[in-house]
Amino acid sequence: MMHHWPSPGKLNLFLYITGQRDDGYHCLQTLFQFIDYGDALTFTVDQNNYITLQNAIDNVACEENLIFRAASLLKHHAVDDGKGAANLGVTIGIDKKLPMGGGLGGGSSNAATTLIALNQLWSLDYSPQQLAEFGLTLGADVPIFIHGHAALAEGIGEQLTPVAPAEKWYLIAHPGVSIPTPVIFNDPDLTRDTAVRNITALMDSPWSNDCEAIARKRFRKVDELLNWLLEYAPSRLTGTGACVFAEFDSEAAARQVLTLTPSWMTCFVAKGANISPLHRQMLE
């Protein structure tokens, strides 16, 4: 039997770097919200003991693919915990829509969807908190996709507090470049001392992204995108980039600006979602 599972994108509605730990990781405060747009994964479970990727992503080795790593990690834990998963296998396919290196969380979302889907399809019965702990070893953004609710993330991104920001419409644009996260976090000019604030202060203040200045400095296309979008609506970088987004109060307003975008822009319109589309589907 084949099973289809959403793997939605996310936006960082704000992102502040509040410090850097001795191990090099950056401390942050960021607001995650899902969007109703993303990849789709298919899982065909069998008993052949192999994890197979049906259509691997170009230029990404299987062993480095977060889908493969998530499935392998879950199987490893299940075997160690005596859950009878030794012979379980799966073939996983992906319909990839989210750009790589775009700041929309595609890889982390893929890993989370894999953990959630196989936990159910392999009848492993791990709790969401256990899955989130597994996922954190794959990436700091994986737990937010496991829990499936918009949240303020603190620490290195693993401390989550559910919140409910307005579910606005977004015009999301990709500049055609991929920004590796270390390029931003290793830049000596990155702001690393933004003051820590409580939730009320964060939600009531104008929102921004401490990584944006570095992305604009290093990647001309990002700067061009933001300059264009800011003529029409409040616009920011998401995550460490490269995608930027403009926010609107209605779908019609977002689509009107979409019709005006230059041919060199790669854009789409999506709605913010405080409950992940993956979790909405699981509740249906």
- Catalytic residues, by residue number, are 10, 141
Query: How far apart, in Å, are the Cα atoms of 242 and each of 103, 174, 212?
Result: 6, 6, 9
Query: How far apart, in Å, are the Cα atoms of 265 and each of 136, 226, 232?
Result: 33, 11, 15
Query: How far apart, in Å, are the Cα atoms of 150 and each of 96, 139, 266?
Result: 23, 18, 26
Q: Please state, in angstroms and rounded to a whole number, the distance separating the CA atoms of residues 268 and 210.
A: 24
Q: Please state, in angstroms and rounded to a whole number, the distance separating the CA atoms of residues 248 and 169.
A: 5
Q: Is 39 helix (H, G, I), strand (E, B) or coil?
A: strand
Q: End-to-end CA distance of the chain, in Å?
A: 19
Q: Provide the residue type at 23 as one letter.
A: D
Q: Provide the residue type at 260 as one letter.
A: L
Query: How far apart, in Å, are the Cα atoms of 14 and each of 116, 158, 240?
Result: 27, 16, 11
Two tokens, residue 167:
């579910």
Instruction: Mention every residue, 6+ apart, whose C-beta is less than 8 A from residue 220.
Output: none
- The residue to which tokens 């894999």 are assigned: 114
Instruction: Mention every residue, 6+ apart, whose C-beta is less than 8 A from residue 122.
Output: 45, 74, 75, 78, 83, 85, 88, 90
Is the Cβ–Cβ distance between 141 and 105 less than 8 Å?
Answer: yes
